[in-house]
Structure 1
Amino acid sequence: MTFSTQQRDALLVAAREAATRAYAPYSKFHVGAALLLGDGSVITGANVENASYGLSLCAETVAVSAILSSGTFRENGGTLEAVAVTGGAPGAAGQGDTVTPCGRCRQILNEIAQIGGTDPMIWCDGGDTVLETRLSQLLPHAFGPANLL
């Protein structure tokens, strides 16, 4: 799938808006993610920290959980087409260094990408620059549902 600059920018705006809803009292690093599905819908998520750090949830994980728990992703033959990720200080997401999905989130995104048979575009917000890559480039030789057959 080919994307326009307007589609990319709209998804980045959605990710920045999601970052404003982050619960990050410990790191003070707000992350937002926006996922574009094949039906055109956009689902967002923000990071949710926990005093027991290992229980914290990344923005991408929150968004994927929302997609899968709603039931509509599979019911509509869902595909993950693109992801935008941003992060930074409260109120300043996307105004610093480029933020990419962590390793765990790359695996989480890979799971739903494989369900729909896609290799989604990933836009990583860095303020003045946007890193554009495919999930397969961020997570080469990925392990997923197909490996369990």
Structure 2
Amino acid sequence: MNDSQLMAAARAVRDRAYVPYSNFKVGAAIRTESGAVYSGCNVENVAYPEGTCAEAGAIAAMAAAGEYRIAEVAVIADSPAPVPPCGGCRQKLKEFAAGDVRVTMATTAGETLTMTVAELLPGAFTAAHMEAE
């Protein structure tokens, strides 16, 4: 799967987002090291902040399928500039992705910005921080 196909998967799932409060649809697609693609969309809830981000939905689908290593990420939203994952999703992505994994963020108009997981979350908290000396 190439970059444009991964973004197309994110775009397709974005259309299914449940956003009756913000009307801000986001779609995400993850390609794993095996080549499989998992997607997710944001799902809002009237009891803020109980909604689910698109990236978190894609990660949940990936884990539900028994996969745990992200190779690439695509995120798309209808915004003036590419929208980066929120802080919580950056940490979630880091849990399953090496620092050099690319995250391509796009607008529905076609503008893109690509960063690595390490660029999005410098100084990430990892399991190594919990190891006893």
How many angstroms apart in 2 are the aligned matches of 1:144 and 1:22? 30
Query: Quick one: which amino acid aligns to residue 122 of structure 1?
Result: V
Aligned-pair CA distance for 1:118: 5.4
Q: Runs in 1 of length 4+ with deviation above 3 angstroms?
A: none
Structure 1 residue 130 and structure 2 residue 112: aligned? yes
Say which of 77, 81, 91 aligns to 1:87: 77
Q: Which residue of 2 aligns with 1:144?
A: 126
Q: How many residue pairs end up in the alignment?
A: 130
How many angstroms apart in 1 are the aligned matches of 2:102 and 2:125? 18
The 8 Å contact of residues 79 and 118 in structure 1, kept in 2 or not, is answered as no
How many angstroms apart in 2 are the aligned matches of 1:19 and 1:53? 20
Structure 1 unaligned blocks of 5 or more:
1-5, 89-94
Aligned-pair CA distance for 1:147: 2.0
3-state SS, counterpart of residue 22 of structure 2: coil
TM-score, structure 2 normalization: 0.90
The 8 Å contact of residues 60 and 101 in structure 1, kept in 2 or not, is answered as yes
Q: What CA RMSD, in Å, does the superposition of the two structures yield over aligned residues? A: 1.6
Structure 2 unaligned blocks of 5 or more:
none
Alignment map for 1:45-60 (pairs within 5 Å): 45-60=40-55
Deviations 1:87-132 (A, max 9, x none): 12xxxxxx7421111111101111112xxx4531000003332101
Q: Which has the higher strand share?
A: 2
How many angstroms apart in 1 are the aligned matches of 2:56 and 2:110? 26
Say which of 76, 100, 103 aligns to 2:87: 103
The 8 Å contact of residues 99 and 117 in structure 2, kept in 1 or not, is answered as no
